[in-house]
């Protein structure tokens, strides 16, 4: 390295190319847990910690599973936070939906204020999408695991004692059920 901060070999400039290995790319996880028409999307990276209500179109529901996501922009939307195309997380090609073998290539996580903003996409507050999208680098790279789960409701557990013990009727004995 000379004082001009470039390399010279035999009087010619050596062009240095920067490269990275796939393993050097930061990876991210977005979790979506759905329940009864709304869900919770969570994302943590660095100082960003998001846990936010999200929605989707009830008639077009992405199947539960894990998908490779890409921080990108939606080519057909011009309402991005920074004045460009809309920011979003693309879920890739061949994403199954409605549990019937149908697939689609256009599912995103993007801004929205309710299910009416969705044609099958997962939507949440625009400021939270932008915060998450801004944190993810590099863009246009499959470096995000998007995990979609449906909440399973567990209703208590069997009692470990007999709730009929000590019951009595007005007549002094066990009631006949």
Please report the domains of the chain, with CATH numbers, ordered by start residue. 25-150 (2.40.440.10)
Say if residues 133 and 89 touch (Cβ distance below 8 Å).
yes
Q: Which two tokens stand for residue 30?
A: 């977005």
Q: Name the pLDDT band for 37 (thresholds 50, 70, 90).
A: confident
pLDDT at 20: 44
pLDDT at 36: 86
Quote the CA–CA distance of 25 and 142 in Å, as a whole number.
10
pLDDT at 2: 41
Q: Name the pLDDT band for 6 (thresholds 50, 70, 90).
A: very low
**What average pLDDT does the chain have?**
83
Per-residue pLDDT reduced to its tens digit, 162-175: 555 555 555 555 55
């Amino acid at each position: 390295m000379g004082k001009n901060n470039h390399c010279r070999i035999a009087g010619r400039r050596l062009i240095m190319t920067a490269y990275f290995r796939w393993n050097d790319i930061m990876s991210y996880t977005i979790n979506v847990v759905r329940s009864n028409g709304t869900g919770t999307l969570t994302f943590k990276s660095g100082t960003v910690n998001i846990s936010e209500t999200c929605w989707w179109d009830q008639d077009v529901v992405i199947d539960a599973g894990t998908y490779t996501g890409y921080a990108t922009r939606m080519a057909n939307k011009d309402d991005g936070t920074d004045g460009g195309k809309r920011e979003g997380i693309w879920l890739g090609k061949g994403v199954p939906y409605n549990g019937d073998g149908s697939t689609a290539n256009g599912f995103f996580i993007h801004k929205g204020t309710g299910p009416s903003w969705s044609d099958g996409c997962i939507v949440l507050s625009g400021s939270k999408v932008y915060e998450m999208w801004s944190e993810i680098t590099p863009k246009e790279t499959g470096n995000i695991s998007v995990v979609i789960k449906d909440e399973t409701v567990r209703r208590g557990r069997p009692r470990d004692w007999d709730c009929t013990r000590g019951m009595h009727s007005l007549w002094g004995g066990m009631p006949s059920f």
